[in-house]
Amino acid sequence: MSEVDKIVEVCRKVYDKGYVSAYDGNVSLITERNTVLFTRSGICKGEVTPEDILEFDMSGALLKGEGKITTEFKLHLFAYSRRPDVSAAVHCHPVYATAFSLIGEGLVEHYFPEVILTLGKIPLCKYGTPSTNDLPLSLEPYIECSWAYLLQNHGALTLGKNLDDAYYKMEKLEHTAETIYKARQIGELKPLSRNHIDELLKISEETYGIKIDPRNIY
């Protein structure tokens, strides 16, 4: 599958999952040519076609395609500029994750071993007005080690080593937020103990092949 077709596929997935509505959200990836493919502004992600994918250089200059660049391009470029291990980003407004961002709460308590292994703690980034530099700079305190971010009063951003990775991190983020929300309706949540987390970190690389940066846990 071509890089453009992969973006189209992921756009359809996030729309079908209800992670975006109307013209919300954007998806990007770094190509083998070290350029950025990005969904154009003002397009429903459920209706994206290959013609809606624009190509830019790392400064944001249009190289190929027709359409307007979204103002949230800055968010993606900031992540790419600071994280050489990241090659794709997905920004959506998933209902449960966004709900946590509205009450000013990050998902930093650890309840699920699988979330520790794939996402780590999920910080809340302070509100930044779209189109301004405040939005990408809201990632600054967490950009070095986090893979998923709640954007206050805005939505969520996930990063990945490739586009599938970034998409599945978004899927895991929303599933986690929904599960925590529903568990709170039943009773008091029981987070994993520090001993359980330390044990998981010790065996993560040897058993699961996953090297975890402790800064993204504690």
Q: If you write DSSP's letter for every residue of 7-61 in order, what string do you get?
A: HHHHHHHHHHTTS--TT--EEEEE-TTS-EEEEPTT--GGG--GGGEEEE-TTS-
For residue range 141-198, list pLDDT tens digits in order. 999 999 999 999 999 999 999 999 999 999 999 999 999 999 999 999 999 999 999 9
Mean local confidence (pLDDT), 110-137: 95
Are the C-beta atoms of residues 106 and 123 closer than 8 Å to each other? yes
State the chain's mean pLDDT as an integer: 95
pLDDT for the residue numbered 207: 86
pLDDT above 90: residue 209: no
105 in catalytic set: no
Left if phi > 0, otherwise alpha if psi is -120 to 50, otherwise beta: which for 104? left
Confidence at 71, pLDDT banded by 50, 70, 90 = confident
Are the C-beta atoms of residues 102 and 189 closer than 8 Å to each other? no
For residue range 12-23, list pLDDT tens digits in order. 999 999 999 999
Indicate the residue type of 126. Answer: K
pLDDT for the residue numbered 108: 96
Each as own residue / partner, the long-range contacts of residues 214-217 (CB below 8 Å, 24 or more positions apart, any chain) are 215/144, 215/145, 216/120, 216/121, 216/145, 216/146, 216/147, 217/110, 217/116, 217/120, 217/121
**How far is it, in rounded angstroms, from Cα 81 to Cα 182?**
37
Catalytic residue, candidates 47, 51, 72, 188: 72
Are the C-beta atoms of residues 23 and 44 closer than 8 Å to each other? yes
pLDDT for the residue numbered 211: 85
**Structure tokens that stand for 180 in this block:** 């925590």
For residue range 48-67, list pLDDT tens digits in order. 999 999 999 988 889 999 88
**How far is it, in rounded angstroms, from Cα 98 to Cα 18?**
12
Confidence at 70, pLDDT banded by 50, 70, 90 = confident
pLDDT for the residue numbered 67: 87
In terms of Cα–Cα distance, which of 210, 187, 190 is closest to 200? 210
**How far is it, in rounded angstroms, from Cα 109 to Cα 105?**
11
